[in-house]
Amino acid sequence: MACRILLLFLLLTGCARVLPPEGGEKDTTPPVLRTELSTPDQQTNFRPTEIRLVFDEWIQLKDPLKQVVISPPLKKAPLVTSEGKAVVVQFNADEPWKDSTTYTLQFGKAITDRNEGNVTPDVRYVFSTGPVIDSLSAGGVLLDARSRAPVADALVLLHRDTRDSAVTLQLPDHYARTDKNGRYRLENLREGSFRVFALLEKSANYLYDLPDERIGFLPEVITIDSSNVSLPLITLSPPVKQLRVVQQDSSSIKGAITFAFSRPPGELIVPASEDGEPVVQWLGDTLIRLWSASDLQTELILPGVDTLPIHLYPDSTAPLPIIRTATNGKQPPGQELILLAPTPLLGLDTAGLQVWQDSIRIPITSIRRSEQGDSLYLGGIGRDGSLCRILVRPGTLEGINGQVNQDSLIIPVNFMKQDELVNLRLVIDSLSTGIPVILELMNGSQQLGRWRHEGTTQWILPVPGVLPGAYQVYLSLDLNRNGFWDGADLYKGFQAEPRTALPLTGLRANWEMEIPLVPDWGEVPSN
């Protein structure tokens, strides 16, 4: 009977939950480390099997796999647990400790009290396997190379092996994680030269070894020789995608072949043949559609990557050509009205294209077609605040397959009032005459416009008819002249192309605003 009572007592006490006393103020005090009861910190000539950190109240661990950082990383992962008021770190008996090396354990936000979750921040434990505790430090900021936003929870790695490939071959000598502001600090460093890498990894092995991992790196070896080194800005690039055709579709659209690429191709060639010349329709940075007015065989050539044979032919059963406005029927006044066709237009009878306001016909001062034939630009139509109708009479549009519109098309267009809009004049200074610049105007994730400039140190860009609001301007240097922004490529030794983000705020309706923009490129890589 005594044994049963003792067993029941052990079960009850083992499963008991510590509850706060009822009433009184809420506990907001985090657990406090009691150094006199813990394994001594800052030990030298120390190769531990266990470290125990004792606090003044019961604690729990939250997300220790992510929060607890041990630098340099160990070959064999230690076991980190909580036991009542203590954090216990148990090391593998076979851990191959490095000689004369300072190790740091950082617990991040892992340690909280049992009841209220109050976090004890910045708990660190430091020891050395040699006679000296290293004391130098370095820190900096990590930004997303494209959005220029801070990157949180990424690794910044220091390698004494100064080869470019060190991050693909071996564990780092030191590392730190970035906070929500992209800031990081590497502490307890020894003098020396290092390669610096940033990594947002998938495999949690401190190596750049998967194709979908994001990478950043400093182009030059850095030297740690003082107590507090400020490292240059590091930018983290999207995963490098090798150019390839990821989809080829010849069945969805009759008489056309659609190609999707893994990334913007930059340069592609579709040669003409004796039977005719194909039309290349760009549907996006990574999507094209090929058409032909005649039956022809040709090739899609991605220089240095691939050559694909293709057979293009017109299809008389293809859909009839139709058009729509690029602005979905809501048009800023004073600008060309853009009409979009799903297929390139082989012919256009301008007499059958009319603009009406009520019963009054409005003259069209100019009509032009885009180079790829799928856009029409109408000039001189529409008045401030007016409602118009675009009338397309039968037989006006001829698609590339020879089909014409059989019925009349009516497209309503609402011209906005000028006093509802802002006219911008962007003045970009301090440009290099020999490097192209790409400007993107963004409203959140929506791109409102994209322009390219080269040849002068100042670029004046009028942007009329913008709705009031907050916008972002992204300026990029197109170092490789492929028309797109490119991120870093570790294997080629290329840094991300310089990019800067500049906010546009305070835009008010019915204003003419000149906005000076001076990009801060930092150090421009040679690539």
Residues 218-244: tens digit of each pLDDT:
999 999 988 889 999 999 998 888 889
Task: In whole angstroms, give the CA distance from residue 378 to residue 388.
Answer: 13
In degrees, to the nearest 5, what angle opens at C-alpha 232 toward C-alphas 228 and 233? 125
Q: Is 231 exposed, middle or buried (0-12, 13-18, 19+ CB in 10 A)?
A: buried
pLDDT attached to residue 86: 97
Residue 245 lies in a domain: no
Tell me the CATH number at 199: 2.60.40.1120
pLDDT attached to residue 342: 85
Assess contact for 275 and 295: CB atoms under 8 A: yes
User: What's the token pair of residue 239?
Assistant: 């995963």
Q: Are both 362 and 291 inside the same structural domain?
A: no
Q: Are both 333 and 410 inside the same structural domain?
A: yes
Task: Give the mean pLDDT of 97-109.
Answer: 92
Q: Return the top range by mean pLDDT from 275-284, 303-312, 355-364, 420-429.
A: 420-429
pLDDT attached to residue 208: 93
Task: In whole angstroms, give the CA distance from residue 337 to residue 350.
Answer: 15
pLDDT tops 80 at residue 481: yes
Query: Residue 6 carries which side chain, given as an amino acid letter?
Result: L
Residue 212 lies in a domain: yes
pLDDT attached to residue 261: 94
Q: Are both 140 and 196 inside the same structural domain?
A: yes
- Provide the pLDDT confidence category of residue 498 given band limits of 50, 70 and 90: very high
Task: Give the mean pLDDT of 196-222.
Answer: 91
Task: In whole angstroms, give the CA distance from residue 166 to residue 114.
Answer: 42
Q: Are both 361 and 392 inside the same structural domain?
A: yes
pLDDT tops 50 at residue 114: yes
In degrees, to the nearest 5, what angle opens at C-alpha 294 toward C-alphas 288 and 296? 75
Assess contact for 289 and 257: CB atoms under 8 A: yes
- Provide the pLDDT confidence category of residue 483 given band limits of 50, 70 and 90: confident
Q: Are both 293 and 343 inside the same structural domain?
A: no
Better-predicted residue by pLDDT, 105 or 1 = 105
Task: Give the mean pLDDT of 312-338.
Answer: 81
Question: What is the pTM for the complete model shown?
Answer: 0.76
pLDDT tops 70 at residue 1: no
Residue 39 lies in a domain: yes
Q: Are both 402 and 376 inside the same structural domain?
A: yes
pLDDT tops 80 at residue 321: no
- Provide the pLDDT confidence category of residue 28 given band limits of 50, 70 and 90: confident
User: What's the token pair of residue 290?
Assistant: 């090929």
β-strand partners of 79: 90
Tell me the CATH number at 491: 2.60.40.10
Q: What is the mean pLDDT of the chain?
A: 88
Alpha carbon of residue 182 to chain centroid:
14
pLDDT attached to residue 51: 97
pLDDT tops 70 at residue 184: yes
pLDDT tops 60 at residue 15: no
Task: Give the mean pLDDT of 441-454.
Answer: 92
pLDDT attached to residue 14: 42
Domain end marker among 385, 416, 447:
416
Q: Are both 367 and 440 inside the same structural domain?
A: no
Q: Are both 124 and 141 inside the same structural domain?
A: no
Domain end marker among 392, 416, 440:
416
Number of independent structural domains in the chain: 5
Element (H, E) at 54: strand 50-54
Residues 87-100: tens digit of each pLDDT:
999 999 999 999 99
Q: Are both 42 and 79 inside the same structural domain?
A: yes
- At 358 the three-state DSSP class reads coil
Its sign, for the CA torsion 12, 13, 19, 22, is positive
Q: Domain range for residue 49? A: 35-128
Whole-angstrom Cα Rg for the chain? 32
pLDDT attached to residue 2: 38
pLDDT attached to residue 21: 53
Better-predicted residue by pLDDT, 161 or 264 = 161
Which candidate, 377, 314, 313, places its Cα nearest to that of 341? 377
Residue 468 lies in a domain: yes
pLDDT tops 70 at residue 515: yes
Q: Is the peptide bond before 498 cis (omega within 30 degrees of 0)?
A: no
**Distant-in-sequence, close-in-space partners of 386: CB < 8 Å, separation ≥ 6:** 357, 415
Residue 343 lies in a domain: yes
Order of strands, sheet of 79-83, starting from the edge strand that comes earlier in the sequence = 50-54, 86-90, 79-83
Tell me the CATH number at 100: 2.60.40.1220
Residue 157 lies in a domain: yes
Assess contact for 189 and 174: CB atoms under 8 A: yes
pLDDT attached to residue 24: 60
Q: Are both 345 and 434 inside the same structural domain?
A: no
- Provide the pLDDT confidence category of residue 482 given band limits of 50, 70 and 90: confident
User: What's the token pair of residue 267?
Assistant: 């340069």
Residue 243 lies in a domain: no
Q: Are both 100 and 189 inside the same structural domain?
A: no
The string over 98-113, giving b where at least 16 C-beta atoms fall within 10 Å of a residue's C-beta and e elsewhere, is eeebbbbbbbbebbbb
Domain end marker among 103, 128, 153:
128
Task: In whole angstroms, give the CA distance from residue 86 to residue 52.
Answer: 6
Q: Return the top range by mean pLDDT from 78-92, 204-218, 478-492.
A: 78-92
Residue 471 lies in a domain: yes
Task: Give the mean pLDDT of 125-150.
Answer: 95
**Distant-in-sequence, close-in-space partners of 226: CB < 8 Å, separation ≥ 6:** 136
Q: Are both 446 and 502 inside the same structural domain?
A: yes
Q: Which of 214-228, 264-278, 315-329, 358-372 shows the lowest per-residue confidence on average (mean pLDDT)?
A: 315-329
In the chain, the largest separation of any two C-alpha atoms, in whole Å, equals: 107
